[in-house]
A and B are shown apart, each in its own frame.
Chain A
Amino acid sequence: MVRSRAAVRSLWELDRSDRVAAAVILTVTTVMTAATQVIVPLWRWVTGRGIVVDYVGPVDAPRLDVAGVAHDAEGTVRAVVPGPSASLWLLDLAPGVLVTVFVAVGCWMLWRTTADIVGGEAFGTRTVVRLRVLGVLVALGVPVLGVLRGVADLQVVASLDLPELTGVIDVRWEALVAGFLVLVVAEAFRAGTRMREDLEGLV
């Protein structure tokens, strides 16, 4: 069966169901981020469990050794640091709280933009501002939060007082490209907004 041109075009158009789906997905994303970044660590703190941290250190793999398979002597390992102090818990929680705030703000901006597009108000100053904020959040926020997470992990690992271990700083440089892409889209919307304003004043 051959789809009509109008039917194919409607597949690409955002409608009310897309807006609802976006609301559900973005809400779940925000809730899951809050759960994994804030609520779970808080729960571990309250119930007296340790801080989960990734560290780089010596790795033993006896079965690989027996099989004669070569492997790195060092690697990234997830560990649970027992009995951390309150200040260490707060230090570990801070990046998670910031990540949650960033994700919540970003999801809100994205949802409002989707809602405006569905409502026929794609080209407006508000959309441009939201997309610019979103672009900056992605381009700068993600790498900065990666560094903060790494610094916090370094402190947690340092509390073990084992010199052979070190923390991991994972900076997501691809976020710079993604953020730049959003900023380019924002600029396109700015041009569209200006064209709409010109059209409204055309006699």
Chain B
Amino acid sequence: MPVDEPHRVHCHLDELLEARGMTLAALAEAVGVTVVNLSVLKNDRARAVRFSTLTAVCDVLDCQVGDLLSVSPPQA
């Protein structure tokens, strides 16, 4: 199956942060990633995510990768 561009992965960082009453800056501080990079992830502009970043974000937010990311169905 060919790789489609742009991707259809949607990041739910906004909802997770809101549910935990946490700011992006606080998450960046806890995870050790810049706010700019987390903002790229939050706004679905990331093209690749390190497993280490995913692990750290999920640890801090106490969630699974599936809670953080989902794939939208293809548009007809």
**A6 interface residue (CB < 8 Å to B):** no
Complex interface: chain A residues within 8 A of B37 (CB): 203
Distance of A203 Cα from B50 Cα, bound (Å)? 6
Count residues on chain A whose CB falls below 8 Å from chain B CBs. 6
Q: Interface readout for B35-73 with A: 1 if CB under 8 Å, 0 if not?
A: 001101100011111100100000000000000000000
Whether B50 pairs with A202 at a CB distance below 8 angstroms is: yes
Count residues on chain B whose CB falls below 8 Å from chain A CBs. 12
Interface residues of A in 171-203 (CB under 8 A from B): 197-198, 200-203
**B30 interface residue (CB < 8 Å to A):** no
Q: Interface readout for A74-100 with B: 1 if CB under 8 Å, 0 if not?
A: 000000000000000000000000000
Whether B45 pairs with A201 at a CB distance below 8 angstroms is: yes
Complex interface: chain A residues within 8 A of B40 (CB): 201, 203
Complex interface: chain B residues within 8 A of A200 (CB): 47
Distance of A203 Cα from B45 Cα, bound (Å)? 10
Interface set of A (CB-CB < 8 Å, partner B): 197-198, 200-203
Q: With A201-B45, A203-B50 given, can you name 9 additional A-B contacts, CB distance below 8 Å? A: A198-B48, A201-B46, A201-B48, A202-B46, A202-B49, A203-B38, A203-B40, A203-B41, A203-B53
Interface set of B (CB-CB < 8 Å, partner A): 33, 37-38, 40-41, 45-50, 53
